[in-house]
Amino acid sequence: MKIKILIPVYNDWQSVVKLLENINSEVSSLSHEFSVIIINDASTENRPEISLNLDSLKSIQIINMNKNLGHARCNATGLKYILEKEEFDYVIPMDGDGEDRPEEIKQIVDNLNYNPHKPIVGERIKRSEGIFFKFCYFAHKLILFTFAGESIKYGNYTCLPKTVVEKMVNEKATWSSFSGSLAKVAKDRAGVPSERGTRYFGPSKMSFKNLIVHSLSIISVFKINVLIRSILFILVYMFLIHQKISIIMIVPVILVLILLVSVFTVSKRENLEELNNSLKNILNINNF
């Protein structure tokens, strides 16, 4: 099998170097062809010139972007590039900082023996972040399930068959949310347990604002479900409290309306035309 590992990176070359070394070590015992494609999201830091022995990887390409797009759009651009320019059977998107553990590649690939046509997702069973992040993540999952009817326990760390890559490249939501798009185009998925690793170097670059946008981007993929469930909630709730309406009792309705406005606003990030034209943002391509 020809497997492409897709890694977006922005000013985190030290982590990427260590990740490549660990990937090379983990795939050395696997009888498949592994290649790596790095999407350099217009990094402002120069890539270090380091000589590595990565003989278990067939090739390592760096696609340098002309302007910064963000993590989700780099993944979308990478999927489109691989679909149109590369020969492959599967794509494994990974974060470049070590939080997606290379040690789990083997169990993901082994699962293909039982589910060759399904996307394999790394379902989080353990996270390494602090209490505040875990609380926010729980709140996100609760809102997503309540108002969208979806349970998404995975991130970018997946293994996508070529047929699923094609569907995602033709889905506008991919430009805004990787996991939301995958949940939309591939209802039948196989999961493997996955632990969230710790960053190799430096603190997380995910700000609270970006965390909110990331959450809303996933929820907005299912905005019609959110709209229907929100209307039903408001109608039922107002019926139950109509005899004792007060400012405090109206707060849940206000929060739901804020959620609706936020979801529909963020959904404007979805854009199939920009996804179709994303390869025009490539500045150049070179080897690591």
Same domain, 118 and 24: yes
Indicate the SS3 state at residue 11.
coil
Is the per-residue pLDDT at 51 higher than 90?
A: no
Residue 146 DSSP code: I
CB 5 within 8 A of CB 34: yes
Average pLDDT of span 44-49: 84
Instruction: Give the number of C-alpha atoms closer than 13 A to the C-alpha of residue 4, restricted to the C-beta side.
Output: 26
Over residues 129-181, the pLDDT tens digits come to 678 777 888 899 999 999 999 999 999 999 999 999 999 999 999 999 999 99
Phi/psi for 226 (5° steps) reads: -65, -40
Over residues 245-279, the pLDDT tens digits come to 777 889 999 999 999 999 999 999 999 999 999 99
| Alpha-carbon gap, residue 221 to 177, rounded angstroms | 8
Q: What is the pLDDT of residue 128?
A: 60
Give the confidence band of 127 by pLDDT, cuts at 50, 70, 90: low
Distances (CA, A) of 48 to 57, 137, 145: 19, 35, 43
Same domain, 73 and 123: yes
In a domain, 136, yes or no: no
What would the two tokens of residue 90 be?
Answer: 């599967």
Q: What is the pLDDT of residue 141?
A: 92
Same domain, 113 and 61: yes
| Alpha-carbon gap, residue 119 to 13, rounded angstroms | 28
Same domain, 234 and 93: no
In a domain, 214, yes or no: no
| Alpha-carbon gap, residue 4 to 78, rounded angstroms | 10
CATH number at residue 65: 3.90.550.10
Q: How many domains does the chain have?
A: 2
Same domain, 85 and 35: yes
Residue numbers of the domain that contains 243: 223-264
Same domain, 188 and 255: no
Owner of token pair 């990427």: 16
Over residues 180-227, the pLDDT tens digits come to 999 999 999 999 999 888 889 887 766 778 889 999 999 999 999 999
Report strand pairing: 158-161 vs 90-93.
Answer: antiparallel
Determine the distance from the C-alpha atom of residue 257 to the mean position of all C-alpha atoms in its chain, rounded to a whole number: 27
